[in-house]
Chains A and B, each alone.
Chain A
Amino acid sequence: MLVVLLLSNLIFTPTFFKVEVRDGHLYGSLIDIVRFGAPLIMVALGMTLVIATGGIDLSVGSVVAICGALACWRISEQGDQNSVSGVLVAVALALGLALLLGAWNGFLVAVVGIQPIIATLILMVAGRGLAQLITDGQIITINSSPYKLIGGGYLFTVPFAILIALAVTALAVLLTRRTALGMLIESVGGNAEASRLAGIHSRRITLMAYIVAGLCAGVAGLMISSNVSSADGNNAGLWYELDAILAVVIGGTSLAGGRFSIAGTVVGALLIQTLTTTIYTTGIPPETTLLFKALVVTIVCLVQSPAFRAKVFQGRRRPAPPPAGPTSATAEKVEVPA
């Protein structure tokens, strides 16, 4: 899918693949995709772990807004906005809050035993209120060059946000694939009760997944607010949870839990960002992005659904190679309600 999109870009906009060094920075559409996709990658990574434990985190968008708001508010309060230590304190505060919010979600799910959708729905509703409370309903604008580095700056000619996303991805891959952690998470997602009986601290693992998701969302919040040097409690990270879930699902992680792929999630997040960027660069009205997303999410889910595969491939047509068949069939399916 990603390959198809990139190829179509190659045909329609020849300059798409051009990566050049200008003013000592890397420039080009591809770099932009990764750069603007970095927050989504972050959020989707955390979401992957949560979904792998069989849960879901709807509150990430709100956490993005809260953390951006808190960091910007703290920076705007201090006298010298460019002081590095002040920015570090603001960042630490925001990440600490993100950790707390993640822990709150994890507490509700793992300890109190509320369904994940509902438990995180609470923070999704209340969180946006909190973010607006911090920004006092205004858009806080700041002018701080150290803070600007996180989302809009460059290090070794590469956008800093990409480096953060790379580092976190690498860390996640190392932790989940080089240690037993990944297996423990999958085991909890497969059957929490059975893994508890097998001696795994399934509550602790679940709690940890939500905390990581909160932290990742917090970092994404910092990236977004730093890139635009402002915090908007109402609109920052709006519908991010949906994009993140979409990225995870496209990446091949089952929503039922018990199986996850970090590489898949990263590809999924990049795919969504490529889709958005492609729509912008080819001159299709950006308003239709949502339509494409709806189409993609339906198709991917249908292809993943065993019931669908059973019905389409054995019912209507002879067994065919997977991608070609369902795509046309689902396209019809989506058109019906429209």
Chain B
Amino acid sequence: MTTFAEVRSRLARPQQRRYLPLYATLALLAVMYGSGVVQYEAFSDPQVVLNVFIDNGFLLVVAVGMTFVILTGGIDLSVGAVVALTTMVSATLLEEQGWPAFVVLPLVLLIGSTLGFGMGCIIHYFEIQPFIVTLAGMFLARGLCYTIGTSSITIDDPFWTSMAQSKVRLGDNFVSPSVVIALVVVLIAAYVLAFTRLGRNTYAIGGNPRSAHLMGLPIARTRISVYTISGFCSALGGVLLSFYMLSGNSLHAVGMELDAIAAVVIGGTLLTGGSGFVLGTVLGVLVLGLIQTLITFDGRLSSWWTKIVIGALLFAFILLQRLITPRKR
């Protein structure tokens, strides 16, 4: 005997549950921004928010790739190392080998994608945990960086410097071209996840791999594509970072995989896979960026507080996820 109220709550809940983490992140963002505006006069300048985008464009791209992987229930620990490898390879080829920018750019993107593709193949065909395979990928990419060189290489290629210095005007304010690229990536990713077959398969595999298999969905193709996308996004993120830093360094982006995972989780994507949105990831990156901005504005707190706050937020959101999802074995 079930009452009407029970039936309604059962029907209504899954929908609400899907969006709950997203609302939580939005509320958090609003509170953080609000407290910033109240505390600091200069905070209300729109440029502050745009600067968050400028400073985190590369992280946004990397986190978008990570969203795909986490949606399938996997994880990619190699992203930070691939970002560093990309900056290092571009810097070396541009500065020491004198290769033109239009050759280097596609090449580094190809390297990142190939690396992702290789890891995807090993994960799928040899059934090894993504965590371990991407860990090996991380060692490999970081190792390659160190093999190329341990010192920082400055980039003064005309194309790179123009990308770094030009400004895209938005009324009185501006953003860098990198932000435009990052937003385009976000839009494409959102479109792919929401409206294409690849997107639907990604959600299906993350939701329940076994039923996806029984439904005859192309698991191999989807899984490998997802890691390839993540590899591509990391390489693109690396390119954006090298625009931002104008240098290649094997120590760039140490720990960025954690930032990316944190952004995805704070953005409400379930780590068990199957539920989440790219928009959430954008919000997650904004939260991370705003934390940094707030700490910079405060001036009394040191930068390591960022890590502690991110850890605490990660904890809160994982707890939230734990509460709204049924226990999965």
Chain A residues at the B interface, C-beta cutoff of 8 Å: 56, 112-115, 117-119, 121-130, 132-133, 136-137, 193, 233, 242, 245, 249, 255, 285, 287-295, 297-298, 301-302, 305-308, 311, 333-334, 336-338
- How far does the Cβ of A287 sit from chain B's closest Cβ, in whole Å? 3
B115 at the interface (CB under 8 A from A): yes
Query: Is the CB–CB distance between B136 and A125 below 8 Å?
Result: no
Counting chain A CB atoms within 10 Å of each CB, which of B118, B144, B303, B304 scores highest? Answer: B304
- The number of inter-chain residue pairs (CB within 8 angstroms) is 141
Secondary structure at the A interface, as helix, strand, loop or mixed, is helix
Contact A301 B132 (CB under 8 A): yes
> Is the beta-carbon distance between A129 and B307 smaller than 8 angstroms?
yes
Q: Are A337 and B137 in contact (CB under 8 A)?
A: yes
Q: Mark B279-323, 1 if CB is under 8 A from A, else 0.
A: 000000000000000000000001111111011101100110010
**Interface presence of B139 (CB below 8 A):** yes
Closest partner residue, chain A, to B319 (CB atom): A112
B258-A291 in contact (CB<8A):
no
Q: In the complex the two chains form, what is the Cα distance from A130 to B308 in whole Å?
A: 7
Per the bound structure, the CA–CA distance linking A167 and B327 in Å amounts to 40
**Quick check: which of B59-67, B120-128, B183-191 contacts chain A, the rest being far away?**
B120-128
With beta carbons under 8 angstroms apart, the residue of B114, B136, B302, B306 that contacts A294 is: B136
- Interface contact A113-B143, CB-CB below 8 Å: no
Report the minimum CB–CB distance from A318 to chain B (whole Å).
20
CB-defined A-B contacts under 8 Å, sample of 8: A114-B319, A117-B131, A129-B304, A129-B311, A137-B302, A290-B139, A307-B125, A336-B114
Contact A291–B144 (Cβ < 8 Å)? yes
A217 to chain B, nearest CB (A): 17
Contact: A125 with B322, CB < 8 Å?
no
The answer to whether A121 and B133 have CB atoms under 8 Å apart is: no
A-chain residues with CB within 8 Å of residue B307 when the two chains form the complex: 125-126, 128-129, 132
State the majority secondary structure of interface residues on B: helix
The reply to whether A305 and B128 contact each other, CB–CB distance below 8 Å, is: yes
Residues on B with C-beta less than 8 A from A127 are: 311
Which B residue's beta carbon lies closest to that of A115?
B271
* Contacting pair A122 B308 (CB below 8 A): no
Contacting A at CB under 8 A, from B73-92, are 75
Q: Point out the residues of chain A lying under 8 angstroms from B322, CB to CB.
A: 112-114
Min Cβ gap A246→B in Å is 8
Instruction: Find the B residue at minimum CB distance from A302.
Output: B126
A119 to B322, CA, bound (A): 11
Q: A291, B140: Cβ atoms under 8 Å?
A: yes
B residues apposed to A, CB below 8 Å = 75, 114-115, 117-119, 122, 125-129, 131-133, 135-140, 142-144, 146-147, 150, 258, 261-262, 265, 271-272, 302-308, 310-312, 314-315, 318-319, 322, 327, 329
Distance from B232 Cβ to chain A, minimum over Cβ atoms (Å): 13
Q: Beyond A121-B314, A307-B126: 6 further Cβ-contacts under 8 Å?
A: A115-B272, A117-B75, A255-B129, A290-B142, A292-B143, A298-B122
Asked if B143 and A242 sit within 8 Å, CB to CB, the answer is no
The answer to whether B315 and A338 have CB atoms under 8 Å apart is no
In Å, the complex CA distance between A278 and B204 comes to 47
Per the bound structure, the CA–CA distance linking A115 and B74 in Å amounts to 13
Q: Name the residue among A115, A287, A292, A308 with the largest chain B CB count within 10 angstroms.
A: A287
Q: A297 contacts which of B139, B146, B272 (Cβ < 8 Å)?
A: B139
Do B310 and A125 touch (CB < 8 A)? yes
Known contacts: A289-B143, A290-B146, A337-B115. The answer to whether A302 contacts B128 by CB under 8 A is yes
Q: Which residue of B lies closest to A287 (CB)?
A: B146
Other-chain residue from A122, A242, A289, A334 in contact with B318 (beta carbon distance below 8 A)? A122
Contacts of B312 on A, CB cut-off 8 Å? 126
Docked pose: A126 CA to B129 CA in angstroms: 25
- Interfacial chain A residues near B310, Cβ < 8 Å: 125-126, 129
Whose C-beta in chain A lies nearest to the C-beta of B312? A126
Q: Which 6 A-B pairs have the closest CB atoms?
A: A126-B311, A129-B307, A337-B118, A290-B143, A287-B146, A291-B143
A132-B304, A249-B132, A297-B135 as given contacts; A124 in contact with B258, CB under 8 Å: yes
Which of A123, A245, A288, A290 is the most central at the interface, judged by chain B CB atoms within 10 Å of its CB?
A: A290
Contact A129 B308 (CB under 8 A): yes
A287, B135: Cβ atoms closer than 8 Å = no
Contacts of A123 in B (CB 8 A): 311
Residues of B within 8 A of A112 (CB): 319, 322
Instruction: Say which residue of B136, B311, B318 sits within 8 Å of A298 (CB atoms).
Output: B136
Give A337 to B140 CA distance when docked, in angstroms.
9
Q: Taking A129-B305, A287-B146, A289-B143 as contacts, is the C-beta distance between A294 and B125 under 8 angstroms?
A: no
Pair B126/A126 contact, Cβ less than 8 Å: no
Best-buried of A137, A233, A288, A338 by chain B (most CB within 10 Å)? A338
B307 nearest CB neighbor, chain A only: A129
- Inter-chain CA distance A249–B117, complex, in Å, is 24
Contacts of A128 in B (CB 8 A): 304, 307
* A133/B318 in contact, CB under 8 A: no
B140 and A287 contact, CB distance less than 8 A = no
Which A residues touch B142, using CB under 8 A?
290
User: A305, B131: Cβ atoms under 8 Å?
Assistant: no
On chain A, the residues within 8 Å of B302 by CB distance are 132-133, 136-137
**Complex: A13 Cα to B202 Cα, angstroms:** 53
Q: Which residue of B lies closest to A234 (CB)?
A: B304
**Cβ-defined contact, A291 with B147, below 8 A:** yes
Please tell me if the beta carbons of B311 and A287 are within 8 angstroms of each other in the complex. Answer: no
Pick from B133, B139, B150: contact of A301, CB under 8 Å? B133
CA distance A136 to B301 in the complex (A): 11
Chain B residues with CB below 8 A from A290, complex form: 139-140, 142-143, 146
